Amino acid sequence: RRIRLCSTDELEPGAMKSVDIDGLPRLAVYRLGNEFYCSEDTCTHGGSSLSDEGDLAGYVVECGLHSGKFDIRTGEPCAPPCTEPLRTFPVQRAGDDLYIDFD
Ligand code: FES
């Protein structure tokens, strides 16, 4: 199903935020310039919220709990102790609104 995440003006460039939608895992939405990305928000290592407790530096989100890192474009882990990828979702933009397809 198609899920509306938020509007573009809810995120400053370089920022990320969590989105809670009934029936879905908690999601994180990231903005870099005018590019938008989305992944699951929960670190695959220890369950920390990436968007609430982590840091975003370029395409890399760092977990606030043990400093593991993921590439937000692919979800691939890029620093230990993270080894399991994050699930990511291509973001579609329609006007000022951001969507993903979630099945
Ligand atoms: Fe994220 Fe450990 S919980 S690196």
The pLDDT tens digits of the residues spanning 59-77 come to 999 999 999 999 999 999 9
Q: Per the structure block, which two tokens stand in for 82? A: 């993270």
Q: Exposure pattern of 35-66 as b/e (b: 16+ CB <10 Å)?
A: ebbbbbbbbbbeebbbbeebebeeeebbbbbe
The best mutation among 26, 40, 61, 63 to test binding of ligand 1, ranked by most ligand atoms within 8 Å of the C-beta, falls on 63
The pLDDT tens digits of the residues spanning 76-90 come to 999 999 999 999 999
Beta-bridge mates of residue 21 = none
With cut-offs at 50, 70 and 90, classify the pLDDT of residue 28: very high
Binding site membership of 81 for ligand 1 (Cβ less than 6 Å): yes
Q: Per the structure block, which two tokens stand in for 41? A: 């928000």
Q: What is the pTM of this model?
A: 0.96
CB 19 within 8 A of CB 31: no
Binding site membership of 80 for ligand 1 (Cβ less than 6 Å): no
Could you give the count of Cα atoms lying within 13 Å of 30 in the half-sphere of its Cβ?
A: 27
